[in-house]
Amino acid sequence: MFESRPDRDAEVVLVGRSNVGKSTLMREVTGHTFDTGQRPGVTRSPNHYDWTGPDFMITDLPGFGFMKGVPEEVREEIKTDVVRYVEENAEKILVGILVVDGKSVVDIIDRHSGPDEIPHDVEMFHFLREVGVEPVVAVNKMDKVDDEDERLNDLCDRLGLYPPWKQWQETIAPISAKRGNVSALNEAVRHHLHEAKRDDLFQFF
């Protein structure tokens, strides 16, 4: 279980599978470089980025899901820790940013959909909602996607949001973290910060 969470009353968390670009996005948002492992599953505990002034931090939670060379029980452990962290701190978490790979997310969801299986990304999206954390899906690597609208509509469909995706701009944010193109995410996060009466945190997004 993750220890030593800084004592902050307001938090934004990043969750998602391994290798979807969470650390790159974290660097883009905070302007701060984190040690990112070349191998998936390297980040085993949360990266907290804590500003000294405001009572606020951004937390990059470890990636979950399939990781090459990582035993299944370790993967399950990581996922359990992530879920528990969000559950325990839900009332302090203003936004949960679910980072997905725009190029492959729909295929991965379809591959893992079955009578006995809920795909991780879909499960995490609904879990955030269930515990009262506003989810924003950061659909990363969109610079590699040709049919952007179609892809985003398909993703909405899989998440149980009625397409077209443009109705959901406070929930679905197409970005390219590597290229520094994260304005859609900033807008979506600000929407939820505003709803939470935390316009003072706009400076971070």
Residue 5 falls within a domain, yes or no? Answer: no
Better-predicted residue by pLDDT, 4 or 197: 197
Better-predicted residue by pLDDT, 149 or 74: 149
Range picked from 15-19, 34-38, 102-106, 118-122 for highest mean pLDDT: 102-106
Torsions phi, psi of 76, nearest 5?
-65, -40
Q: Write out the residue range of the structural domain in which residue 135 sits.
A: 10-204
Name the percent of the chain lying above pLDDT 70: 93
Residue 4 falls within a domain, yes or no? Answer: no
Task: Give tens-digit pLDDT for 6-54.
Answer: 888 999 999 999 889 888 898 888 887 766 555 555 557 888 888 767 7
Residue 50 falls within a domain, yes or no? Answer: yes
Find the CATH number of the domain harbouring 77: 3.40.50.300
Task: Give tens-digit pLDDT for 50-78.
Answer: 876 778 999 999 888 777 788 888 888 88
Structural domains of the chain, count: 1
Residue 46 falls within a domain, yes or no? Answer: yes
The per-residue pLDDT of the chain, averaged, comes to 89
What own/partner pairs with CB < 8 Å and gap ≥ 24 does 78-85 have? 78/41, 78/44, 79/120, 81/1, 81/2, 82/15, 83/127, 84/1, 85/2, 85/5, 85/13, 85/46, 85/61
The pTM score is 0.93
